[in-house]
Amino acid sequence: MNRPPFKVRNDGRRTFIKQSLALGTGILFLPPNSASKSFGIPGTILEPTKIVGLKPFDGENYLKHAQWYSGQNVNDGFYYEFPPGSLADQQYITTDMLADGNTMIQFNIELQEGADGRVFQFAFGVLNQCSLRMRFPLHLVDQNRWRIPRAGAFLKPMCWGDRVDLEKVDRMKFYIHRKSDQPSKFCLTPVNVTQEDVPVVEHPVLPKGKLLDSMGQSMIHSWKGKTSGLDEMKSNLQQRLKKSNHTFPTHFSKWGGWQKKKLREGSGFFGAHQDDNRWWLVDPDGYLFWSAGIDSVRVDTSANIHLLEDALEFLPAQDGEFAEVFSENQGQLHLNYLAANYIRTFGSNGWRDKWATIALDELKRLRFNTVGNWSEWGYASKAKFPYVRPMHFTADLTTNIYRDFPDVFHPDFEKDGAAYAQTLVETKDDPALIGYFMMNEPTWAFSRELPAVGMLYNNQASATRTHLAEFLKKKYVSKEKLAANWNMDVNFKAIEKGKWQGEFSKEALSDLELFSELMVEKYFGSLSAACKKVDPNHLNLGIRYQGVPPQWAVAGMKSFDVFSMNNYREKVPFEVTQEIHALLQMPVMIGEWHFGALDVGLPSSGIGHVRTQADRGKAYRVYFEDAAANPYCVGVHWFVLYDQSAIGRFDGENYNIGFLDICNRPHQAICSAAMKSHESMYEIATGKIKPYNDAPEYLPKLFI
């Protein structure tokens, strides 16, 4: 149902009439300097040419000029058409929104160049029962960024799809992309396009009042196992500390390796080994080891409260007893409710040591043998509990040439790599360290564009562009041969510097793929060598690639000891691990995986989605035991130990993906399932026990 158009009165208000200038175009052009109906800033209203699936209804007037809609299915939404170039001189697309219910909705906005042209996608989620301002900066169409900071209830805004030219964009879709089983009910004001900066919402509308209670639990959900109050929370934590005396099973070595199979005399450090049947890790004492890990063993329930202070039941002073619960990320204030719960239970002095005692004991109770990435690994090191550690590369002397891909052929890149590797000095002699992840999910890997392609569009001059030009000169000798082979108008000078315009032929993309492989090989070959020079004792565990990497990227990663990827499928893809082994002759480790449900007070399930907590346990066993039986896999690390905040972490993720909730209460079904899998993992790895295969119902993935 199309919303009636409007015009501006002298006093800035609008009456509803059609402006003939834009009749049929889907755009209502407003007079210069007029106030947008929704935001009080000059702008242009986009009118949908059609609405698919969404049903308008009358609802509470929480947002002025907003219309309520109900959507039953993904892809329900608004479709727009307008003259090409209508968005070219604009800065933002924006609207005010509010979602009813208590389960997440993720929206997509697509900008397209004609009916069959390239499509840029902008995805974001919404926090239920809290108004938000959707702010889509149109400069993102250059694909040089993967995501931008959240703003209150406007969650995890991210870029996908193709690069587009706003001069060619003539249509847009705004639709539901992910949802729960429940109908999605939301209201929004007219979609506004503006050349102005768009202010954030500092005091959102909260139809049901506060969103988080004093312990950090959701106040718009009810569920079995919800902690009733502070006294119950304190008693549970005190009892957990009192019972902190768990040990590994008797068939585990002191490191969590397999006591029944000693390969050799210990080297004093973890290593990797391939026998006639499969790949293994080896613990410092020489026992075969398979890594059952869990990420974020840290006080990791930080809620991004920036612009959401009105939604909190508990907001202490930042300079008092609870000073440690506050932090900043990208200039936005965060409050850590798990830390606050520990402080209220054990006091502000020594609470973190008590947390570490409880957390590491919980891992032993559940038979995990590895403290995974993003953890407070200093506690694991002190306790001689096997752990991995993260690294993060920053181009200080050089620059990035596309997203976070550095100028790898710059002379100073090696110096940046040497400085980066120095962080390993403090752990190079630690026997409890399994190895290091060189980085996590580089954002250039989320792009459809090759790194070389992205570089040409977004970096006007660099050593790597010069190297690309030299690479092509060696192959084609003359600019005429380059143009003929690329089947397009091109020359070496345009390759080396300047702003690139236009699209690439398939022949050009073939060469740029080859060069992208060289870029990746140079990047990780140099960093790996620098790391081995500083720390020759521990395993290089790769970069935790997001998902399954393309073959050109894999081929440039020969310098690792273990290939790592984050994999959120129902199982680890056997054929992928087999192919990686064939290409690189190394084993595979899974850095992240999880399944969540919507039955314990979180708005989102997680990336993997099942129906109940019992199903989470089944999904855990299927994934873990299938991976243990995979001869190319040496470990899987679950993401994460604790559920995320119901109002979202720094970027807005608010997932039920923990073994423990915000009050440190275990989710019993998945805990019991993990214990069974971990106790039998060595027999599964050697084929003595068949993997568990009673799979649950896997629901469509829910993520933001």
Q: Vertex 362, ends 321 and 541: CA angle to 5°?
A: 100
**pLDDT on residue 165:** 97
> What is the rounded distance in angstroms from the CA atom of residue 585 to the CA atom of residue 632?
10
Return the beta strands (E) in 399-501 as ranges: 400-402, 405-406, 433-437
pLDDT at 25 > cutoff 80: no
Measured distance between the N- and C-terminal CA atoms of the chain, rounded to whole angstroms: 28
Confidence bin at 19 (pLDDT 50/70/90): very low
> What is the rounded distance in angstroms from the CA atom of residue 110 to the CA atom of residue 345?
49
> What is the rounded distance in angstroms from the CA atom of residue 605 to the CA atom of residue 104?
9
**What are 455-497's pLDDT values in tens digits?**
999 999 999 999 999 999 999 999 999 999 999 999 999 999 9
CB burial string 634-653: b at 16+ within 10 A, e below: bbbbbbbbbbbbbbbbbbbb
pLDDT at 39 > cutoff 80: no
Q: Which residues pair with 137 in a beta bridge?
A: 92
Mean pLDDT, residues 640-662 taken together: 98
- Cα→Cα distances 666→183, 233, 342, Å: 30, 12, 16
Residue type for position 297 = V
**pLDDT on residue 14:** 30
Residue type for position 160 = W
**What are 612-631's pLDDT values in tens digits?**
999 999 999 999 999 999 99
Q: Which residues contact 231 (CB under 8 A, 6 or more apart)?
A: none
Question: Nearest-CA neighbor of 628 among 687, 584, 674?
Answer: 687
The SS3 call for residue 52 is strand
- Cα→Cα distances 141→136, 418, 577, 704, Å: 10, 35, 34, 19
Mean pLDDT, residues 332-350 taken together: 98
Mean pLDDT, residues 97-125 taken together: 97
> What is the rounded distance in angstroms from the CA atom of residue 395 to the CA atom of residue 551?
26
The SS3 call for residue 299 is coil
**What are 251-286's pLDDT values in tens digits?**
999 999 999 999 988 999 999 999 999 999 999 999
Exposure of 498 in the CB half-sphere (CA atoms within 13 A) = 11
pLDDT at 4 > cutoff 80: no
DSSP codes, 540-597: E----EESSPPHHHHHT-TT-SSEEEE--SSS--HHHHHHHHHHHS--EEEEE--EE-
Question: Nearest-CA neighbor of 76 among 105, 112, 46?
Answer: 105
Contact in structure between 437 and 483 (CB atoms under 8 Å): no
**What are 541-590's pLDDT values in tens digits?**
999 999 889 999 998 899 999 999 999 999 999 999 999 999 999 999 99
CB neighbours (10 Å) of residue 268?
A: 12
pLDDT at 13 > cutoff 50: no
Structure tokens at 321: 């007893």
> What is the rounded distance in angstroms from the CA atom of residue 302 to the CA atom of residue 645?
7
pLDDT at 703 > cutoff 90: no
Length of the chain: 704
Q: Angle of helix 451-458 relative to helix 463-476, nearest 10 degrees?
A: 120
**pLDDT on residue 28:** 54
The SS3 call for residue 110 is strand
The SS3 call for residue 466 is helix
Structure tokens at 631: 């001869």
Stronger pLDDT, 252 or 501, i.e. the higher one: 252
Backbone angles phi, psi at 567, to 5 degrees: -135, 115
Mean pLDDT, residues 44-60 taken together: 97
**pLDDT on residue 235:** 98
**pLDDT on residue 606:** 96
Residue that is written with structure tokens 């209502």 in the block: 28
Contact in structure between 325 and 344 (CB atoms under 8 Å): no
> What is the rounded distance in angstroms from the CA atom of residue 595 to the CA atom of residue 610?
7
Mean pLDDT, residues 210-224 taken together: 98
User: So where are the chain's domains?
Assistant: 7-194
> What is the rounded distance in angstroms from the CA atom of residue 655 to the CA atom of residue 648?
8
> What is the rounded distance in angstroms from the CA atom of residue 159 to the CA atom of residue 139?
11
Residue type for position 405 = F
What proportion of the chain, given as a percentage, has pLDDT over 70? 94
Torsion angle, alpha carbons of 185, 191, 196, 198, to 10: 0
**What are 366-386's pLDDT values in tens digits?**
999 999 999 999 999 999 999
> What is the rounded distance in angstroms from the CA atom of residue 432 to the CA atom of residue 434?
6
**What are 386-401's pLDDT values in tens digits?**
999 999 999 999 999 9
pLDDT at 96 > cutoff 80: yes
Contact in structure between 608 and 570 (CB atoms under 8 Å): yes
The SS3 call for residue 319 is coil
Stronger pLDDT, 694 or 2, i.e. the higher one: 694
- Cα→Cα distances 415→185, 196, 396, 419, 522, Å: 54, 42, 9, 6, 14
**pLDDT on residue 5:** 32
pLDDT at 160 > cutoff 50: yes
Q: Which residues pair with 312 in a beta bridge?
A: 212
Q: Which residues contact 585 (CB under 8 A, 6 or more apart)?
A: none
Parallel, antiparallel, or unpaired for β 191-194 and 44-46?
A: antiparallel
Residue type for position 240 = R
Contact in structure between 377 and 371 (CB atoms under 8 Å): yes
> What is the rounded distance in angstroms from the CA atom of residue 45 to the CA atom of residue 162?
25
Evaluate whether the domain defined by 7-194 bears CATH number 2.60.120.430: yes
pLDDT at 18 > cutoff 50: no
Question: Nearest-CA neighbor of 50 among 86, 81, 7, 19?
Answer: 81
**pLDDT on residue 308:** 98
> What is the rounded distance in angstroms from the CA atom of residue 507 to the CA atom of residue 509?
5
Confidence bin at 8 (pLDDT 50/70/90): very low
Exposure of 103 in the CB half-sphere (CA atoms within 13 A) = 19
- Cα→Cα distances 682→252, 264, 400, 435, 639, Å: 9, 17, 44, 21, 22
Residue that is written with structure tokens 């510097």 in the block: 497
pLDDT at 667 > cutoff 90: yes
